[in-house]
Structure 1
Amino acid sequence: MKRTGFLLAAVLVVTVAFALSAAAKTTRRVVDVLIIGGTTSGTTAAVAAARQGVTTLVVESTPMLGGMFTAQGVPAVDGNANLPSGLWNEFREALRAHYGGAPALATGWVSNTLFEPHVADSIFKAMAAAEPALSVEYGFRPVKVFRRGRKVSGARFVDKAGNRLEVSAEVTVDATDLGDALPLSGTPYRLGMDSRSLTGESLAPEKARNIVQDLTVTAILKDYGPGTDRTIPRPEGYDPAEFSGCNATAVGDPIPPEMVITYGRLPNGKYMINWPTKGNDIYLNVVELPYERREAALRPAREKTLRFIYYIQTELGYRNLGIADDEFDTPDGLAYLPYHREGRRAEGVVMLTFDDVMARYDRPAPLYRTGISVGDYPVDHHHKCRPDVPGIAFLPVPSFCVPAGVMIPARTDNLIVSDKAISVSNLINGSTRVQPVVMLTGQAAGTLAALAVKAGCTPREVPVRRLQAALLAQKAYLQPLYDVKPDDPDFGLLQRIASTGILRMTGEPYQWANRSWFYPERTVSVGEFTLGLHDYAPQIAVEDDPAPLTAASAADLLRRAGGRIAPSADTTPLTRREAARMVDEALHPFERDIDFEGNLK
């Protein structure tokens, strides 16, 4: 009987598999731009590309658009509060309109912009639906990237039922959370900690290590009212000692237990549970696992979050807080996907390092000139679950820009990289990985893809200044000017001049919102002006002259630099804003193209 039962079961399995295979279908699509992943950057890449008038398809494995903000359950914004750039600003304004103003979003203490994941999802979907050239496919994951020679030409996807989606595209964007299109396309990448000899960063380890940051499966809890008891069943293996001491900040300062909850308080009585200190962070490196094995490998992360929820309900006394029933349609009610803080990083035509951010004007390659997105968050690495890894405690940086070349693989054409898979060092990934930076990098990726399609060239052949000009037209920042907002009548002008380095920014590491000042209303000295002008026109010697720059002295220097400008007798000191106008009118320096390293052509 056992043998007969085994044979019957085997026949049934084969029959069911055959039936599923027979029922599966293949759909083929042809578009200008394919976005692999409706993540935080994938969504903005898709919207940006479609707004440029090219047909765009974004393929996402979950039912939500927005990645970290939505499907991964991290609706608390890290950084860029004072850099209202491009689609990040558009998204934030939509949140403010939904909830009734900026104060309504300042509900927790980890951020001044917090919201419910399903609201963000609805905003992203509305933005996508408003673009006639944009379509979205949900429930599919990539299994193959089509490549011939150096050129990528689309990808194949499958869903859980075995249905296939095959997409041909002029340009493909890898916007996956872990850089999954990189190995599928044969594009070289790095994973884990970079060695000091590779990046030149003194803070990098001496030897490379295959270690990524801790990840988190987040939960959204909901207040079901006083007197209610929403305690979940006691999870298997629960021990309250696992979370003892959770009432401390990431740097170890003690805090009242209630701050563990109010940290991520969202509107409408909800709470984000994404707590690093003795909370639900966990070390799991699943990056190289195939999709079909990841779910099982990530099970310990989901179980740890359930144990932490039970601890919050029983030990901290919040029995009225239960798993929200209106956010994620998952069996356990937790986020669809884990919050991965890092994955693969492409080998790009350039690599941004921590030192490039800290000393932007004193580097061999002036990468800042090629900026396409901006950020201001400190270097944030989560390694508390790996005591063998030295801690990296929120290294302060000046606000920074992400250079264009990090999106371009060195040896693959017609593939653009966004999200966390851009070509940066492991160290500075702690700043470039946060949501607003990723959103803006996605906007640049989508814009670049569209420009390449319309020009009939590869993305690497699109001039950097053409990409930057297109982003400026979208009110996106190229440089992180803290004191020049998009409503400034000279916003575009000052962004352009700052991107040439003729008038330099002053960086300032500052708490959680690092800054770079342009100081448009300050005067500028002759010496400071010659310092920046020398890089553009080497015939101008750098002078140590503290005298204020005047229209007369500026006109003389600009004429010697090759500019077309009439002499002036005006000896009134110029503000930096006025000097920028003179530079722009005399030299049009932004019109002079640069390479991906920022060198003048």
Structure 2
Amino acid sequence: MVRKILLVILLLNASFSYAQTIKIDILVIGGGAAGTAAAMQGARSKLKTLLVEPGPWLGGSMTAAGMCVVEGNRNLPSGIWGEFRRHVRDFYKSRLGYDTTYNATLRFEPYTGAAILKKMTDTVKNLTVKLNTPFTAIEKDGTGWQVSITENNRTTTIKAKVVIDATETGDVAAKAGEVFISGFDSAQDTGESLAPATALPRIQDITWIAIVKDFGKTADKTMAKPQGYDAGEYACLKGKDISKMLNEGRLPNDKYMIKWAGCGNQYPTTADDLKPANRDAFYAKARLHTLGLIYYLQTELGFKNLGLDDEYPTPDHLPYLPYIREASRTKGLVRMTLNDLYQPYDLAAKLYRTAIAVGDATPGQHYGEGTAPKTDYPPFMAYSIPLGSIVLKDLDNLLVTEKALSVSHLVNASSMYPSVQMCVGQGAGATAAFCAFFKTTTKKLNVRIIQGELLDFKAWLLPFTDIKPNDPYFRPMQQIGATGLLKGIQKVNGNSAQLLFMPDSVVSTAEVEPFFKEIYARAFLWFNKEKPGEKFTQGNLLSFISEITLTEPKTLQISMQKAWKTQYKFSSDFDMNRPVTRREFAILANKFLTPFARTVDLSGRMVN
């Protein structure tokens, strides 16, 4: 009898160990660029956060998929993305020839990038990271979610207040019941003049990247002929400057990232190919195509000294994952289109006021010859990602990132870029932290509190490239930009366009009068009484501050004159008759008029 009782107890203990339940504030599923940043931000916001990643590395596209030459957002070192950039540059700065200038294209070996991200997460309190841990199921649990994960061949149940889907292909949202769209949207659907007249199901091709090493001129690293190899698939490479193509993907330590379009390792893809049921078979074909390219490079083009080394401990030494540019997208509370990107200040919806991330990656167009329309983008604007694009309409407290982001097909061509997604992930982490901390749902988000948290952690809301993050007044200029009181100025530079704050230019009355009248009832009386000239002066600004705050004008003038250079460190002289600069205006208006404190909804409309 005693033996039977002991056996029952042992069996019960075993069943409990296989059915462990963990309660958490924030669960991030997917440890790619967005997921790693989201988990770090959630934990830094002092919420108990768990990150689960099915593979052995953090970093997703940038590391596990080998996309380790990162050009997008090199002018926008926002928050955690900027932190990662600094760590990579510090690691390689002693290497001869490594470019460490402020906005240099970032180049690194994939395993080094993964190790840096792991070290970054290891230093964050309140954060637990579980690698090699896939999720298997998700279901609603009150206002939160219950998720099943597999670790060490055991099922663990996670009860989370908020879940962030940071998988490359929106797998979590799909299992939760979200409806997706894919391919080109129609112009009628999005209002984008560059969209085709009718929707097309075509999505961008994947690339199974290869990281090769130069083993020296005399080395022969020729691999075995891959299964199904056909030299004709790569024939268009003959006659091309292969050395130049290799150099474009140059990495430290005599390595190269091969990510070649045309008949290189780009591989035609459909949304169905990326569904979990079809993924493994499709990936196997794509891997063989890349192996064939390397074999062709060695045998037909004379580069037998280049070979796949042990960068990746996979059987074929290719990356763990393909570089996925597009999958299927959600329709969130807000869908960002090219109109929001090119005309942020001209539309009824002022989505820039709800910004949680920045981007400037040049949009890619990676399709097989003649299989999709070419989009003639005008010079591509630096832009902000709105909060509503990560929030689902019908699934509370489930946020989306990566290729599931609620944007149009034409915007996804840029927003999918890993450095942009690292910024999006930080925004998602702050949003999840808001919901968990205030015990609320994604139906009751406070835009300004979330943005304030992001600014606390050095994230950018607006892509003002002429305001560096070490500027002591970076924050007030970002906040004023996010209100629209002072709007960014677009400057075209070749195929791209920057958004500038132009802090040393002067403020015109015409640009600030509409906003002042929109949110301050007494502004109508002030403008009728003062009738400021074309240029808004320091005296005009102090007079308006006096009117709104009911401060005695002379007292305000005296105190401001004393603080002008000592407290505010302004370089100009205090002169009531001189036009006020945008820097001076932003700092003083932000402090005394507090327009950033005005509540906005997810469309950017002022609600009080």
Distance 1:43 1:162 in 2: 24
Taking structure 1 as reference, are residues 425 and 331 closer, same or farther at Cα in structure 2, changes over 3 Å only?
same
1:400 pairs, out of 366, 378, 383, with 383
* Contact 1:380/1:394, CA 8 A, preserved across alignment: no
1:221 pairs, out of 204, 212, 226, with 212
Deviation at 1:142, TM superposition (A): 2.6
Distance 1:579 1:404 in 2: 27
Structure-to-structure mapping, 1:405-444, within 5 angstroms: 405-444=388-427
Q: Which amino acid aligns with 1:52?
A: S
Q: Which amino acid aligns with 1:369?
A: R
* Contact 1:220/1:323, CA 8 A, preserved across alignment: yes
Q: Judge which range, 362-371 or 529-538, deviates more.
A: 529-538
1:9 corresponds in structure 2 to none
Taking structure 1 as reference, are residues 163 and 512 closer, same or farther at Cα in structure 2, changes over 3 Å only?
farther
2:5 corresponds in structure 1 to none
Q: Judge which range, 529-538 or 454-463, deviates more.
A: 529-538
Q: Which amino acid aligns with 1:311?
A: Y
**3-state DSSP of counterpart to 1:244:** helix
Distance 1:529 1:316 in 2: 62
Structure-to-structure mapping, 1:43-442, within 5 angstroms: 43-100=36-93, 105-106=98-99, 112-148=105-141, 151-158=143-150, 163-246=154-237, 256-285=241-270, 287=272, 290-291=275-276, 293-325=278-310, 327-383=311-367, 385=368, 387-392=370-375, 395-442=378-425
Q: Judge which range, 516-525 or 186-195, deviates more.
A: 186-195
* Contact 2:28/2:35, CA 8 A, preserved across alignment: yes
Distance 1:232 1:538 in 2: 75
2:584 pairs, out of 573, 578, 582, with 578
Distance 1:79 1:488 in 2: 22
Taking structure 1 as reference, are residues 394 and 240 closer, same or farther at Cα in structure 2, changes over 3 Å only?
farther
Distance 2:231 2:501 in 1: 51
Q: Which amino acid aligns with 1:168?
A: K
1:486 pairs, out of 461, 465, 469, with 469
* Contact 1:372/1:471, CA 8 A, preserved across alignment: yes
1:590 pairs, out of 596, 600, 606, with 596
Q: Which amino acid aligns with 1:126?
A: K
Deviations 1:164-222 (A, max 9, x none): 23211111000000011112111233222212222111111222222211101111101
Q: Which amino acid aligns with 2:404?
A: A
2:567 corresponds in structure 1 to none
* Contact 1:313/1:320, CA 8 A, preserved across alignment: yes
Deviation at 1:157, TM superposition (A): 2.8
* Contact 2:379/2:496, CA 8 A, preserved across alignment: no
Deviation at 1:276, TM superposition (A): 1.4
Deviation at 1:345, TM superposition (A): 1.5
2:540 corresponds in structure 1 to 553
Q: Judge which range, 489-498 or 500-509, deviates more.
A: 500-509
Structure-to-structure mapping, 1:507-546, within 5 angstroms: 507-511=490-494, 514-537=497-520
* Contact 2:246/2:256, CA 8 A, preserved across alignment: yes
**3-state DSSP of counterpart to 2:83:** helix
* Contact 2:203/2:271, CA 8 A, preserved across alignment: no
Distance 1:393 1:272 in 2: 27
Deviation at 1:226, TM superposition (A): 2.2
Higher share in helix: 2
Q: Judge which range, 78-87 or 496-505, deviates more.
A: 78-87
Deviation at 1:152, TM superposition (A): 4.3
Distance 2:233 2:40 in 1: 43
1:476 corresponds in structure 2 to 459
1:12 corresponds in structure 2 to none
Q: Structure 1 stretches of 5 or more lacking a match?
A: 1-21, 248-253
Deviation at 1:395, TM superposition (A): 4.6
Taking structure 1 as reference, are residues 290 and 483 closer, same or farther at Cα in structure 2, changes over 3 Å only?
closer
Taking structure 1 as reference, are residues 185 and 436 closer, same or farther at Cα in structure 2, changes over 3 Å only?
same
Q: Which amino acid aligns with 2:25?
A: D
Q: Which amino acid aligns with 1:589?
A: P
* Contact 1:171/1:415, CA 8 A, preserved across alignment: yes
Taking structure 1 as reference, are residues 102 and 409 closer, same or farther at Cα in structure 2, changes over 3 Å only?
farther
* Contact 2:194/2:375, CA 8 A, preserved across alignment: no
**3-state DSSP of counterpart to 2:409:** coil
Q: Which amino acid aligns with 2:465?
A: Y
Deviation at 1:30, TM superposition (A): 2.0
Distance 1:84 1:579 in 2: 25
**3-state DSSP of counterpart to 1:487:** coil
Deviations 1:105-146 (A, max 9, x none): 449xx9721100000111111111112321122223333211
Distance 2:240 2:492 in 1: 25
Distance 1:174 1:135 in 2: 17
Deviations 1:429-462 (A, max 9, x none): 1111111110011011112112211111113423
Using structure 2 for the length normalisation, give the TM-score. 0.87
1:34 corresponds in structure 2 to 27
Distance 1:47 1:56 in 2: 8
Distance 1:313 1:536 in 2: 67
**3-state DSSP of counterpart to 2:120:** helix
Using structure 1 for the length normalisation, give the TM-score. 0.88
* Contact 1:171/1:453, CA 8 A, preserved across alignment: yes
Distance 2:384 2:96 in 1: 28
Distance 1:31 1:438 in 2: 24
* Contact 1:347/1:423, CA 8 A, preserved across alignment: yes
Structure-to-structure mapping, 1:3-42, within 5 angstroms: 25-42=18-35
Deviation at 1:565, TM superposition (A): 5.3
Deviation at 1:392, TM superposition (A): 2.6
* Contact 1:380/1:395, CA 8 A, preserved across alignment: no
* Contact 1:398/1:510, CA 8 A, preserved across alignment: no
Taking structure 1 as reference, are residues 104 and 403 closer, same or farther at Cα in structure 2, changes over 3 Å only?
farther
Q: Which amino acid aligns with 1:554?
A: L
RMSD value, Cα: 2.6
Q: Which amino acid aligns with 1:273?
A: I
Q: Judge which range, 45-54 or 475-484, deviates more.
A: 45-54
* Contact 1:378/1:514, CA 8 A, preserved across alignment: no
**3-state DSSP of counterpart to 1:122:** helix
Deviations 1:300-344 (A, max 9, x none): 21111111111222232211110121x212121111111110122
Deviations 1:45-91 (A, max 9, x none): 11111112222111111100011111111011131112111001110
2:9 corresponds in structure 1 to none
Q: Which amino acid aligns with 2:163?
A: T
2:563 corresponds in structure 1 to none
1:503 pairs, out of 478, 486, 492, with 486
Taking structure 1 as reference, are residues 255 and 152 closer, same or farther at Cα in structure 2, changes over 3 Å only?
farther
1:4 corresponds in structure 2 to none
Q: Judge which range, 136-145 or 470-479, deviates more.
A: 136-145
